[in-house]
Chains A and B, each alone.
Chain A
Amino acid sequence: MSSFFHKTSLIGGLVVVLSTVAGQRAVADEAKPAEAKPPAKITYDEHVRPIFREHCFSCHNQDTKKSDLSLASFAGISQGGSTGPVFQPGDADGSRLWSLVSHAEEPKMPPNQDKLPAAKLDVIKAWIAGGALENDGSVAKIKKQPAINLSASGGATKPEGPPPMPEKLPRQPVVYTARAAAVTALAASPWAPLVAVAGQKQISLYNSDNAQLLGVLAFPEGTPHILKFSRSGSLLLAGGGVGAKSGSVIVYDVKSGKRVFEVGDELDVVLAADINEDHTRIALGGPGRVVRIYSTADGSLVHEIRKHTEWIYALEFSPDGVLLATADRSGGMFVWEAETAREYQNLAGHKGAITDVTWRIDSNVLASSSEDGTIKLWEMDGGKEIKSWAAHGGGVASVEFSKDGKLVSAGRDRTTKIWDGNGAAIRELPALGDIATEVAFTHDAARVAAGDWLGEVRLSEVADGKQVAQLPPNPPTLEMLVQSQTAAAATTADAAKKAAAELAAAEAVVAEKAKVSKAAAEAAAAAQANLQNLLAEKAAFDQTQSAQASTGK
């Protein structure tokens, strides 16, 4: 298992700083034995004992044993002193020996003297970090430390600082396919406007506010069948693989897109997986019917749960990290103590395959969806079914709690439905083109992303059900974007040209019309003048006639 655990080095400031030598060692031993040269071992007998002999033996020899500590033999130093063990193999900073000789803590050692020379300190530190080996034949027993900060909060409260969003991830897809396959997984960040959509050998990250593609994460392991953001929103878990062949879980750092963990070596795809709230455990399951829980610290297998009789279809850690719910294809569902993997509840009731499970933010209620067409709510004190309703005819494919306790579901009837916490329908979104397979609330529960069998992922407003955008699992390549943009630009230029031409033509027409109108106006004026003349002439004539008539009397 450990060969699948890559301590991907130096992710931001999160990595516990190990000495270079030790860091290389770990990588060399566990990840790439063929590539890096094995460094010389730093051992007690060869390197450290001479230093101790020179500086410490006066007090801490096997006879004097000041504070019950003898540094004169490996057995002695391993035994520790009156305050307990003096070193922690692999963890210099956590070792009392190092704290004292580096003068980080009191009593500084050697007492009342300057620190040991830096070169010697480095040797001691490297020795501890390298596993505090006795001699050349010793094997390190390093209790590995997680590679990232574990101070993630529970799911209910927003982590400090701005919610993580991808920063400058490549937008070039790993694979471009003209047609999208059925949507296998969708997830939305709990705190950021970020939606992850599973595709072929890749995961597309979209901004759910503007539907912009933010980046594409490679998943060369196959097809992701499950996507989950960690409760803090800083990590994205993807489980999947190649059907009937291989399966594993990859955890990415959302900001950098780098791989943080890789666990699992299944013989079929991983269909269900989750990472717990403090990022110390990853649980996964699939057609193998076994739920495996790994430690993120060293990639070791911590527990195997062999209770399920069918394919594991869904699992999720409770937001507080205390419980783990797992569900299978024949309707079996259990809740386990996450730390011990002891059975806590057996939730029997579904008549068909359970397709999804989701926890309410307070970790007290679990919702499950099933091919039997129902969504059921379960309380965690007694494991009772507290609510069950027919949600989607033919079967429910996916269900998710929002942080404010609403539910969204999708199913074989092609619809997406939003429910209140008691199962009362709030809204039904227009049907998709084929059976719906996945659904997720965005971080603010204002929008819903829903995917179907045809590969369409629709982003819709919860408030009015209107479709806002499509989030394709098969985004176009950059070349295609360039091409389409160029084409668009060309079209625009053409349009401008055409408009100008049209304008010119119109102007010509106007000029012509002006000419005509002027001529007409002139003609009209002439006619008017003519008329005036005639009228005047007539008036004059009339006058003459009336004058002649009066004189002729």
Chain B
Amino acid sequence: MKRTTFHALAWLAAMASVASAADAPAVKLEAFPPDVQLTTNRDRQKFIVVATRGDGVTQDVTAAAKVTLANPALVRMEGNTLYPAADGATTLALEYQGQTVTLPVTVKDATVERPISFKLDVMPVFMRSGCNTGSCHGAARGKDGFNLSLFGYDPDGDHHRITHEIGFRRVNLALPRESMLLQKPDGSVPHTGGKRFAPDSEYYATVLRWLEAGVPKDAPEVATPTALELYPPKAVLEGQDTKQQFIARARYSDGTDRDVTNLVVFLTNNDNSAPISADGLVTAAARGEAFIMARFATHTVGSQVLVLPKDLQYAPPTTPPANYVDELVNAKLQRIRVLPSDLCSDEVFLRRATIDITGLLPTIEEYQSFVADADPAKRAKLVDRLLERKEFSEIWALKWANLLMVKTTNEVSYKSMFLYSNWLTNQISSNVPLNQMVQNLLSANGGTFKNPATNYYQIERDTLKTAENVAQVFMGIRTQCTQCHNHPFDRWTMDDYYSFAAFFAQIGRKQGEDYRETIIFNSGGGEVNHPVGARRMAPKFLGGPTPDVNGKDRREVLVKWLASPENPFFATSVANRVWAHFFGLGIVEPVDDIRVSNPASNPELFQALGAKLTSYNYDFKQLVRDMCNSQTYQRASQANASNADDTKNFSHSKIRRIPAENLLDCLTQVTEIQEKFQGLPLGSRAVQIADGQASNYFLSSFGRSPRTTACAGEATTEPTLSQALHMINGDTLTRKIGESKRLQKQLDAGQKPAQVVETIYMACLSRKPSPDEMQRLDALLAAEPNPRNAVDDILWAVLNSREFLFNH
């Protein structure tokens, strides 16, 4: 009987696998690129055909598809590559399982030779072959005496260095094949970097062609690549060793395009799941998601690739989503076939939301009334209540103060710092919309006492650094790389960097009447020059247009764009910071490193949150409400079998250590022993400390932000040994427990030790001790003659437990 069952099950499984596998009919057929343009006799274009099944799985069916050229006289086809034959327009029809897709094909100048170009043909070879990377000739000092610009940011300089820097050595115009430029990479003479390409390769042919042409320099008006396309835009691969070919196409300023599949650098951010070959072939490996990137010239683009195991049994959950957050998170979970965890208990939710929103623990009274409340909407109501508390704005004032590096320095007196901090807290507590706040901050003029927002330009006085900080804090973009070279893994160029910095080139500073005060004003003069060629850079929005700044305060022009819907980065990056606070992880993580090569784990959610923030008129309180009311926020932290490996799709709640300031405040809250911070009255909370310079041992060791840079990662919650030791033995906890009269009062009031222990649990962990715990605690209490000692020890133990230290 048992045997039969086993067989029956096996048979069922086999059937299921057959049904879900490749035989399932394709519901969508796509071909890439969407159109084919062949210009000049050197052009060519590879195409790929992708079928998508009903369950979203994609298949590379390029080889299986039936290909029909409407007019074969115009195009020569080799495999899946098209070559021009004669001028004209035709179509390419691709048929697979009864579905057809048709690509328009145009051929122009089919017999015209395309002249060799240093920038368009040769430079990409250096990039693809890895010649100009930072570890080779792209290093600042070059390699073995030969220097190329890093990732080719200076093609004219590279041309000079190759041809004229050292006379004959690198190029031999008489015998081009004997040029060192070819002999080194083809391995015919010793090369530290080894063999980069073979003499029969296309790369060799390109460089040779340039050498044979007499190493011509490009005309100044040579086309520039304006865009890079990577196909397919996404792929869902089922089963190990499934393959998908990627192709890349570059578009140029003269309207032409080229198949650059053989010239882009392919990268993957997850080699375990989707390794990619140098030629763009992805082979599915372990289950997971990956981001495939292609880099060409200054462009980096990416496609998302999911790898699923074969024959996965999956039934999507049926619970209706609470709001758009759930819809988008669930959609992603469904795509990767992951089931979310169940919702957490009321007790857990109460503690989680209270800590996240106010930075404090729920009181025993709050706990009792919330648990007793039978209202089905009580969670939403709790969120509303918490959002109205002043502690909410204090947490966010602290977060912004960290990013704005509010602290006393040699340049910033305590007074200005204090005024600045108050200004910031006021902006947040009076619910000034974020865009307004940023505008107030960045366009501020006047004395650092009179208009404390001007301290932004007093804390950081360097023009370039100011621009870097603004991009990082308000757009989540790190532009630091592009000070010296084009960003290797993003779209930003040196031009972008210096033209963005030009907005901050005209900040005037002079001393006020009080020697501690600096007056910030628009000096109306000052420019930023590009280090290569010393071009004067006109102010240009990062990733945006070049505005007219004539006669205007450049910073005012900038902020009107920066904190507006026209800037695609502002709302999304701020929303992502808010998200990261409540979920312990940004949708883009780190939150201030948004780039093509560090894509959002859920791009739709990322965009939706930004759009919502904009539609709420930049009132982020509303956004917090959306987040906290979502099921996603309210999920249990316990993983299920399906989502145990998921770390970035919010399928279960992330356990997070409580940040330093909040943790100290919570300790104060439960022991009722107040802290004295420098410059603040006794009883102030750690989140209220204005000066980044002021700290104490507890805060420092638990990772309070030192506010030395504008990085979000300055405040850490990484565990360290000193934290553990400080909790066990340090004076903070010892003093607080030793001096605390709370438990004594309860004992004095006639409460039994067991009752006191219950209040300890409710105050610290927002729950009652379990019967099992109580049983063991009773034994301890019975063994200790002095009840005060016993409850103190239990309090110590609870405060040292991970359950207390973490928000779960």
Contacts and interface: CB of A to CB of B under 8 A. Distances in A.
Real binding pair: yes
Contacts of A435: 164, 167
A97 B225 CA distance: 86
Contacts of A473: 174
Among B173, B190, B191, the one with the most A-chain Cβ atoms within 10 Å of its Cβ is: B173
B168 A437 contact: yes
A243 B180 contact: yes
Nearest to A271: B169
Interface in A178-194: 179-184
Interface residues of B, number: 20
B8 interface: no
A200 interface: yes
A331 B169 CA distance: 19
Contact of A180 (B145, B174, B183, B190): B174
Nearest to B170: A243
A478 B214 CA distance: 25
B175 interface: yes
B173 A244 contact: no
A184 B168 contact: yes
Interface string B147-175: 00000000000000001100111011111
Contacts of A184: 167-168
A299 interface: no
Contacts of B167: 182, 184, 397, 435, 437, 453
B184 interface: yes
Interface residues of A, number: 27
A221 to B, nearest CB: 13
B190 A244 contact: yes
Contacts of A245: 183, 188-190
Given A243-B189, A244-B180, A244-B184, A200 B168 contact: no
Contact of A179 (B174, B188, B189, B191): B174
Contact of B189 (A182, A200, A242): A242
Contacts of B190: 244-245, 267
A90 interface: no
Contacts of A177: 174-175
A181 B189 contact: no
A473 B180 CA distance: 20
B214 A179 contact: yes
Q: Per DSSP, are chain B's interface residues mostly helix, strand or loop, or mixed?
A: loop
A223 B172 contact: yes
Contacts, number: 64
Contacts of A223: 168, 172, 178
A199 interface: yes
Given A243-B169, A245-B190, 13 more contacts: A177-B175, A180-B173, A182-B173, A184-B168, A223-B172, A244-B184, A244-B191, A245-B183, A267-B190, A311-B145, A434-B164, A455-B174, A474-B174
Closest 9 CB pairs of A and B: A181-B174, A177-B174, A244-B189, A182-B168, A245-B189, A243-B180, A181-B173, A200-B174, A184-B168
A244 B214 contact: no
Among B163, B164, B167, the one with the most A-chain Cβ atoms within 10 Å of its Cβ is: B167
Nearest to B190: A244
B569 to A, nearest CB: 44
Among A182, A225, A455, A473, the one with the most B-chain Cβ atoms within 10 Å of its Cβ is: A182
B172 A181 contact: yes
Nearest to A435: B164
A56 interface: no
A180 B163 CA distance: 14
Contacts of B189: 242-245
A390 interface: no
Contacts of A180: 173-174
Contacts of A200: 172, 174-175, 178
A188 B165 CA distance: 26
A175 interface: yes
Contacts of A437: 167-168
A454 B168 CA distance: 10
A175 B175 contact: yes
Contacts of B214: 179
Interface in B182-211: 183-184, 188-191
Contacts of B174: 175, 177, 179-181, 199-200, 455, 473-474
Contacts of B172: 181, 200, 223
A454 B216 CA distance: 12
Contacts of A244: 180, 183-184, 189-191
